[in-house]
Structure 1
Amino acid sequence: MNTDTSKRTRKASTLVVALILAAALGLGTLSLFAGSGSDSGSGGGRTADADRGGSAGKDAPSAQDQALLALQRRAAGDPMALGKKDAPVVLIEYSDFQCPFCGKFARDTKPELVEKYVAAGVLRIEWRHFPIFGDESQAAARAGWAAGQQGRFWEFHDVAYGEERKKNSGEFAGDELIAMAKEAGVRDLARFERDMAGTAAEEAVNGDAAEGQNLGVTSTPAFLVNTTPVLGAQPTEVFEEAIDEARKAAGEAE
Structure 2
Amino acid sequence: MTSTRFRLALVAAASGLLAACGGGDAETEAPETAAPAEEAPEESQAPAEPQMIPAPEGSQAADAMIIGAEDAPVTIVEYASVTCPGCAAFHTQVYPSIKEELIETGMMRMEFRELPTAPQRVSFAGFILARCAATDAGPAAYFGVIDALFKRQNQWVRAQNPGAELRNIGAQAGIDGEAFDQCYQRQDIRDAIVENIEEARDRGVQGTPSFYVDGKPFDMPFVPEDAVAALKAEVEKRR
TM-score band, normalised by shorter chain:
0.5 to 0.7
Per the normalisation by structure 2, the TM-score is 0.65
Partner of 1:80: 65
Q: TM-score, normalised by structure 1?
A: 0.62
Identity of aligned residues (%): 22
Mapping 1:1-254, distance limit 5 Å: 39-40=32-33, 80-133=65-118, 134-151=120-137, 152-165=141-154, 169-170=158-159, 173-183=162-172, 185-186=173-174, 190-231=178-219, 234-251=222-239
Distance 1:139 1:196, change over 3 A: same
Report the Cα distance in structure 1 between the residues aligned to 2:187 and 2:143, rounded to whole angstroms. Answer: 22
Q: Describe the shift of the 1:166–1:229 C-alpha distance in structure 2 as closer, same or farther (beyond 3 A).
A: farther
- Whether the 8 Å contact between 2:82 and 2:127 is mirrored in structure 1 is yes
> How far 1:103 moved relative to its partner?
0.5
CA 1:172–1:113: 2 relative to 1, 3 Å: farther
Shift of 1:220: 0.6
SS in 2 for 1:229: strand
Paired residue type of 2:98:
L
Q: How many residues align?
A: 179
For residues 139 and 187 of structure 1, the distance between their equivalents in structure 2, rounded to whole angstroms, comes to 14
Q: How far 1:83 moved relative to its partner? A: 0.7
Superposition deviation, residue 176 in structure 1:
1.8
Q: CA RMSD in A?
A: 2.8
Instruction: Give unmatched runs, 5+ long, in structure 2.
Output: 1-29, 34-59
**What's the offset of the Cα at 1:164?**
4.2
Cα deviation for residue 236 of structure 1 reads 2.5
TM-superposed deviation, 1:122: 0.7
Q: Displacement of 1:38 after TM fit?
A: 5.1
Aligned-partner residue type, residue 177 of structure 1: L
Cα deviation for residue 121 of structure 1 reads 0.5
Aligned to 2:10: none
Contact 1:142 1:197 in 2 (8 A): no
Contact 1:103 1:164 in 2 (8 A): yes
Structure 1: distance between partners of 2:216 and 2:186:
34
After superposition, the C-alpha distances for 1:48-95 in whole angstroms (9 at most, x for unaligned) are xxxxxxxxxxxxxxxxxxxxxxxxxxx9xx572211011111111111
Q: For the Cα contact (< 8 Å) 1:38–1:219, is it kept in 2?
A: no
Separation of aligned partners in 2, 1:124 and 1:80: 11
